[in-house]
Amino acid sequence: MATKADNMNSLDTAAGGGLVDRRQLLGRCFALGAGAAASGLAMTGQSRADGDLAQWVTQAGETARAYGMPAPEEGYVQRAVIQLYPGLAPEYGFSGTPLQYLRGSITPNGLHFEVHHGGRPQLNAYDHRLMIHGLVERPLQFDLAALDRYPMVSNVHFLECAGNSGRNAFDSGPFQITIDQLHGLVSNAEWTGVPLSVLLDEAGVKPEAKWVVAIGDDGPGMARSIPMEKMMGDGILALYQNGERLRPEQGYPMRLLLPGYEGNMNVKWVTSLFVTDNPAHTKSESGEYSELLADGQVAQFTFGMGVKSLITHPSALMTMQGPGFYEVSGLAWSGAGRIARVEVSADGGQSWADAELAGPVLSQALTRFRIPWVWNGAPTDLLSRAIDETGAVQPARTAWKAKYAPSNYLHYNAIQPWRITAEGEVENVYL
Ligand SMILES: Nc1nc2c(c(=O)[nH]1)N[C@H]1C(S)=C(S)[C@@H](COP(=O)(O)O)O[C@H]1N2
Ligand SMILES: [Mo]
């Protein structure tokens, strides 16, 4: 059998720093497992060094259970809970998806990120109503039972908070925190629900109606004005998340799902859709979610999230297991459509190679990318850069910063470099 050195060091590189074309891996021996002869027999239940069978193969196992849970060994895979004002307002906070532990593209429901401005309301789903009123022929009211009879669609889409990754905008950084804390306010789910066009058509939108003001049934009264074209286009009244009912954290029993639009417009626990001819300029859209630009102007309605990618593996505060083979893996997405390409650099941006995209590549959805890498043990910087189907390219941090006033941290989508030190530590850096 070929040795580790024969195999991994003789690969032609796809770009500098040891990036490899995936096709070259066919038939190669990775030599990452432990030799059975050298390390002794595995201590599984069936084959133990002492010849005894373990208890779990000689006795009946656990019975079937009504709702499944992850294995106890995986119990550490949890959201990173962050409270902005712990003593003062514990309900204003969020929890980040642990991207460092996930290797696919769908976010399990228990790990979908949360942002609550006033905490998760303790509402009763059976009493909950959605009202469509304002500039309509027939004001309508729906409960969950009525909505369950409507035709539905199922689409996979990412959701990202406008403030995600915002800590990287601060010059007081780069902060050495794990990726769930830095970039965890993005998740991806299959959302099932009733197209908003079906409900609005039934109410009969008047010709002069151009906007819909959506309000949630929680304390802070999240209210956002949404263009009628978006509502009538691909907007969904989501009732299900990855096949089961929405989680309470995600707006149970019903929320808006506006593909590609900044998180806060996806109003949770939605109770009112007020049809108007003008935007309402609510607090959420006049101050809270508007970006101060470099020239002193304010961008008020920045609905779509930019093209973005992150290497999740390896990522900040991980420790490499020594030189040799790794798969660099991450996520890319764009509010404007499909991801066309993700380029990865293993030499600080001097050279780039295309990563493989895990298909099907869906519009406005997280897309997993992967590329083989042989790390030679020397310090280097790993970067990824996404390009979407409209041709938009993920910017470098300096280009992103140049667009905005120094205080802005919203819509941060710049390239994230991870520094690999000689000791194999992974650090957050600004390039
Ligand atoms: N009613 C209501 N809707 C809301 C919020 C809220 O606090 N109340 N938070 C918004 C914000 S800022 C974001 S980023 C998304 C987060 O959705 P998630 O918690 O399901 O991930 O919900 C949005 N919808
Ligand atoms: Mo948000």
SS3 for the chain is CCCHHHHHHCCCEEEHHHEECHHHHCCCCCCCCCCHHHHCCCCCCCCCCCCCCCHHHHCCCCCCCCCCCCCHHHCCCCCEEEEEECCCEEEEEEEECCHHHCCCCCCCHHHCCEEECCCCCCCCCCCCCEEEEECECCCEEECHHHHCCCCCEEEEEEEECCCCCHHHHCCCCCCCCCHHHHHCCEEEEEEEEEEHHHHHHHHCECCCCCEEEEEECCCCCCEEEEEHHHHHHCCEEEEEECCEECCHHHCCCCEEECCCECHHHCCCCEEEEEEECCCCCCHHHHHHCCEEECCCCEECCCCECCCEEEEEECCCCCECCCCEEEEEEEEEECCCCCEEEEEEECCCCCCCEECEECCCCCCCCCEEEEEEEEECCCCEEEEEEEEECCCCECCCHHHHHHHECCCCCCCCCCCCCEEECCCCEEEECCC
- Asked whether residue 264 falls in the same domain as residue 336, the answer is no
- Asked whether residue 275 falls in the same domain as residue 347, the answer is no
Q: How far apart are CA 410 and CA 397, in angstroms?
A: 13
* Torsion angles phi and psi, residue 374, rounded to 5: -110, 110
Please indicate, yes or no, if residue 211 is contained in any of the structural domains. Answer: yes
- Asked whether residue 232 falls in the same domain as residue 342, the answer is no
* Torsion angles phi and psi, residue 295, rounded to 5: -85, 10
| Ligand 1 atom 2 nearest Cα | 268
- Asked whether residue 221 falls in the same domain as residue 317, the answer is no
- What pLDDT, in 10s, does the model give residues 127-165? 999 999 999 999 999 999 999 999 999 999 999 999 999
Query: How many Å lie between the centroid of ligand 1 and the Cα of residue 174?
Result: 27
CB atoms within 10 A of CB 398: 11
Which residues of the chain register pLDDT less than 50?
1-6
Q: Which two tokens stand for residue 156?
A: 């996979």
Q: How far apart are CA 102 and CA 132, in angstroms?
A: 39
Contacts with 431 (C-beta within 8 Å, 6 or more apart), sequence order: 348, 349, 381, 383, 396, 397, 415, 417
Residue 162 CA: nearest ligand 1 atom is 14
Number of C-alpha atoms within 13 angstroms, CB side, residue 214? 24
Please indicate, yes or no, if residue 404 is contained in any of the structural domains. Answer: yes
Please indicate, yes or no, if residue 111 is contained in any of the structural domains. Answer: no
- What pLDDT, in 10s, does the model give residues 325-380? 999 999 999 999 999 999 999 999 999 999 999 999 999 999 999 999 999 999 99
- Asked whether residue 270 falls in the same domain as residue 320, the answer is no
Residue 218 CA: nearest ligand 1 atom is 1
Please indicate, yes or no, if residue 11 is contained in any of the structural domains. Answer: no
What is the best residue among 92, 191, 264 to mutate for testing ligand 1's pocket, by most ligand atoms within 8 Å of CB? 264
- Asked whether residue 273 falls in the same domain as residue 157, the answer is yes
Residue 115 CA: nearest ligand 1 atom is 19
Please indicate, yes or no, if residue 185 is contained in any of the structural domains. Answer: yes
Which residues approach ligand 1 with their CB closer than 6 A? 112-117, 159, 161, 216, 218, 220, 222, 249-251, 263-264, 266-269
Q: How far apart are CA 30 and CA 232, in angstroms?
A: 51
* Torsion angles phi and psi, residue 94, rounded to 5: -155, 170
- Asked whether residue 275 falls in the same domain as residue 335, the answer is no
| Ligand 1 atom 20 nearest Cα | 250
- Asked whether residue 312 falls in the same domain as residue 415, the answer is yes
- Asked whether residue 215 falls in the same domain as residue 277, the answer is yes
Residues 347, 374: contact at Cβ < 8 Å?
no
Buried (b) or exposed (e) across 46-63, using 16+ Cβ within 10 A?
eeeeeeeeeeeeeeeeee
Query: How many Å lie between the centroid of ligand 1 and the Cα of residue 120?
Result: 10
Residue type at 104 in one-letter notation: G
| CATH classification at residue 139 | 3.90.420.10
Structural domain boundaries enclosing 405: 308-428
Last residue of a domain, one of 283, 317, 333: 283
Residues 370, 355: contact at Cβ < 8 Å?
yes
Q: What's the mean per-residue pLDDT of the chain? A: 93
Query: How many Å lie between the centroid of ligand 2 and the Cα of residue 186?
Result: 10
- Asked whether residue 147 falls in the same domain as residue 245, the answer is yes
| CATH classification at residue 363 | 2.60.40.650
| pLDDT attached to residue 164 | 98
Please indicate, yes or no, if residue 65 is contained in any of the structural domains. Answer: no
| Ligand 1 atom 18 nearest Cα | 114
| pLDDT attached to residue 43 | 63
Q: How far apart are CA 20 and CA 17, in angstroms?
A: 9
Number of folded domains that form the chain:
2
Residue with tokens 């299900």, as numbered in its chain: 240
**Alpha-carbon torsion angle 404, 405, 407, 413, nearest 10:** 10
| Ligand 1 atom 22 nearest Cα | 264
Please indicate, yes or no, if residue 296 is contained in any of the structural domains. Answer: no
- Asked whether residue 318 falls in the same domain as residue 352, the answer is yes
Residue 114 CA: nearest ligand 1 atom is 19
Please indicate, yes or no, if residue 158 is contained in any of the structural domains. Answer: yes
- What pLDDT, in 10s, does the model give residues 393-411? 999 999 999 999 999 999 9
| pLDDT attached to residue 48 | 63
- Asked whether residue 178 falls in the same domain as residue 270, the answer is yes
